[in-house]
Amino acid sequence: AAVAAVAPRGSARRRRWSSAPRRAGANTRANATSTKRGGEEAFPDEDGSWLVTGAAGFIGSHLVQRLLSSGAKVIAVDNIDDRGPYPPAWKEANLEVLAETARRTRAAGSRLVFSRCDARDRARLQRLFPGGDDLPTGIDDLDSVDEDDDDDSLASNPRPMPAVSRVIHLAARSGVAGANADPEGATDANVASTAVLLDLASAHRCVSFTLASSGSVYGECAVDVASGEPVASREHDATDHPTSPYAASKRAAELMARAYASLASAPSAPSASMRVTVARIFTVYGPRGRPDMAVYRFVAALGRREKIRRFGDGRSTWRDYLHVDDVVSGLLAAARRGEGGAEGGAEGG
């Protein structure tokens, strides 16, 4: 399993804020080149479908938008629950954005299927991997979706959907505070879902599996003795001292991915060619961002002409921020790592 730290180049996890360039790929450790269609990456039909979990979230919705704009076929998965930093209404609003993007990019060959299910639900996910002509397409009937309904179909599918060839697993119980309050639930959500999806991706001979992890697995960042400045985290830094249940759960998910990468590389494996990549994502900002993050809170406070609250001494909590567009570029590069025309800067084994 390769590991890529998706963070601003040369950044420390606790450095002062700086405005990250919005140019796609500018601040990621892994960049990819591919064919272009209208200025976007173009993914040919024979690539199969992309399955994206956590598709209604902040990063997930931007990732699906980029894929659709590139002409890709996407199976978007999200349970739209009320846990974590997002109210369900925000997630449903993100899905409406994706529905509009799918309609706008249909002429370019893109297609969108949405499935409202938990990323730990093996039986329901199993129905999505083979593709076919009995899957829903589009999100035209979002309000009619009943999470207790066995079908969750949103519209009839006039054309067969290609089988899933790549998985990007973003769904998680995110946030340190939430995991501290419910460590058992966070561990189950973050680790069990990874195991289920890895097993299904391997069984269905997917070509790549990308796991979104967290920069929190590095624990407290090192500090340069001479300058007192934080030192940038690197992929090979130690990750065996997590400082929160959330970080521990994400590290456990990484180890599960590494185990499946070892199994996938065995000659007898059903999917000997499946590439497994872990992307350690640091603090992200951008449109539709998390309401519990500093950038959102600062902008909201300024809009209300309120004071901005600074935590601690204002120095130990310094951070770099990475724009969501750059995170999406890094995830796509990780998913296509090692393919023709793709360049990867990931490290690991």
* CA distance to 16, 87, 92, 324, per residue, from 81 (Å): 33, 8, 10, 22
pLDDT for the residue 188: 94
226 or 103: which carries more pLDDT confidence?
A: 103
pLDDT confidence tier of residue 92, bands split at 50, 70 and 90: very high
What are the sequence ranges of the domains in the chain?
Answer: 2-335
Q: Alpha-carbon distance 170 to 301, whole Å?
A: 29
pLDDT of 319 > 90? The answer is no
What are the catalytic residues? Answer: 246
Percent of the chain with pLDDT over 70: 70
pLDDT confidence tier of residue 242, bands split at 50, 70 and 90: confident
Share in percent of the chain as helix, strand, coil (round to 5): 35, 15, 50
Of 50-59, 132-141, 178-187, 280-289, give the range with the top mean pLDDT.
50-59
Using an 8 Å Cβ cutoff, are 285 and 345 in contact?
no
In the CATH hierarchy, which fold is given to the domain comprising 2-335? Rossmann fold (3.40.50)
Using an 8 Å Cβ cutoff, are 94 and 128 in contact?
no
DSSP string covering 185-206: HHHIIIIIHHHHHHHHHHHTT-
pLDDT of 317 > 90? The answer is no
pLDDT for the residue 12: 40
pLDDT in tens, 103-130: 999 888 899 999 999 999 999 999 999 9
How much is the average pLDDT of 124-137? 80
On whether the pTM is more than 0.75, the answer is yes
